């Protein structure tokens, strides 16, 4: 029974269906329970919240990522699925805490000052939540001081910086310099991402890693944790 429920949740994440009224990619799904209703039902039925995350959410986002890479899905499709995972995680969070599922650590994320793009960052945030991190999302166009303050305040071991413009990606270096100035650079792993950034640029500004997308970000974090 549990397995069937997990498969239904996963299918609806892949279809990007948040609520019963939503249409999916395939015909005939409208009116049937979607991610919100199914996750609530699963919680009521006593399905293990951890297995919902690992089997229904994380697995289905990997499928979405593959579809995106093959060109079957566009960014709005990926965002619809990511939003389903975000809502599911919000519903599951209190149950995960009660079940004693440790978070994998705090992850502060934001788009640097001067840059208003946040689609990529939002996808990364949701993927990280789904992977078990406690995400502190500062939004877009975030001043350097505010980013550094958040890292200090939350004692976060991870920081993600995003930029989509060649003019704003330079601000990432300011953030890293400011972390050094405050004496906390060695306490935090800095991951950067966004269209104009590259591994070379990450090395140049002294970041710990460059992620080409949300999937690479979660893989890199797994590697860093070992």
Indicate the number of domains in the chain.
Answer: 2
Q: What mean pLDDT is predicted for residues 108-132?
A: 88
Q: What mean pLDDT is predicted for residues 28-45?
A: 95
Which residues partner with 29 through β-bridges?
Answer: none
Tens of pLDDT, residue by residue over 46-86, are: 999 989 988 898 888 888 888 888 999 988 888 889 889 98
Q: What's the pLDDT score for residue 100?
A: 75
Whether residues 91 and 161 fall in one domain? no
Whether residues 75 and 149 fall in one domain? no
The structure tokens listed for 39 are 């996750």
Final residue belonging to a domain, choices 41, 68, 98:
98
Please give the model's pTM, rounded to 2 decimal places.
0.76
Query: Is the separation of the CB atoms in 62 and 215 below 8 Å?
Result: yes
- DSSP letter at 22 equals -
Q: Please choose, from the candidates 80, 67, 172, the residue with its C-alpha nearest in 3D space to the C-alpha of residue 123.
A: 80
Whether residues 140 and 111 fall in one domain? yes
Tens of pLDDT, residue by residue over 128-174, are: 887 788 899 999 999 999 999 999 999 999 999 999 999 999 999 99
Final residue belonging to a domain, choices 43, 78, 98:
98
- DSSP letter at 186 equals G
Place of tokens 């300011």: 174
Assign residue 167 the CATH number of its domain. 3.40.50.280
pLDDT band, residue 1 (cuts 50/70/90): low
Residues 8 and 197: their CA atoms lie apart, in Å, by 37
Cα angle 37-40-45, degrees, rounded to a multiple of 5: 120
The Cβ of residue 15 has, within 10 Å, a number of other Cβ atoms equal to 22
3-state helix vs strand vs coil in the chain, percent to 5: 55, 10, 35
The structure tokens listed for 209 are 């890693």
Q: What's the pLDDT score for residue 76?
A: 87
Final residue belonging to a domain, choices 98, 116, 135:
98
Whether residues 139 and 48 fall in one domain? no
Range of the domain at 71: 2-98
Assign residue 56 the CATH number of its domain. 1.10.1240.10
Share of the chain above pLDDT 90, in %: 61
């Amino acid at each position: 029974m549990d397995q069937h429920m997990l498969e239904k949740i996963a299918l609806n994440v892949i279809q990007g269906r948040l609520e019963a009224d939503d249409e999916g990619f395939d015909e005939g799904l409208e009116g049937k329970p979607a991610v919100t209703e199914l996750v609530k039902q699963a919680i009521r039925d006593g399905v293990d919240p951890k297995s919902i995350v690992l089997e229904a959410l994380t697995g289905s986002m990997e499928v979405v990522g593959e579809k995106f890479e093959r060109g079957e899905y566009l960014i709005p499709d990926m965002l619809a699925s990511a939003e389903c995972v975000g809502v599911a995680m919000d519903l599951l969070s209190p149950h995960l805490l009660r079940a004693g599922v440790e978070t994998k650590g705090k992850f502060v994320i934001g788009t640097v000052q001067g840059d208003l793009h946040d689609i990529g960052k939002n996808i990364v945030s949701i993927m990280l939540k789904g992977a078990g991190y406690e995400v502190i999302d500062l939004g877009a166009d975030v001043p350097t001081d505010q980013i550094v303050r958040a890292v200090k305040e939350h004692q976060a071991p991870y920081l993600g910086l995003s930029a989509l413009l060649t003019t704003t990606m330079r601000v990432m270096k300011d953030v890293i310099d400011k972390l050094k100035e405050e004496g906390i650079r060695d306490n935090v792993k800095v991951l950067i991402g966004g269209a104009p950034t590259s591994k070379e640029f990450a090395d140049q500004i002294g970041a710990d890693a460059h992620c080409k997308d949300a999937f690479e970000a979660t893989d890199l974090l797994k590697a860093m944790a070992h």
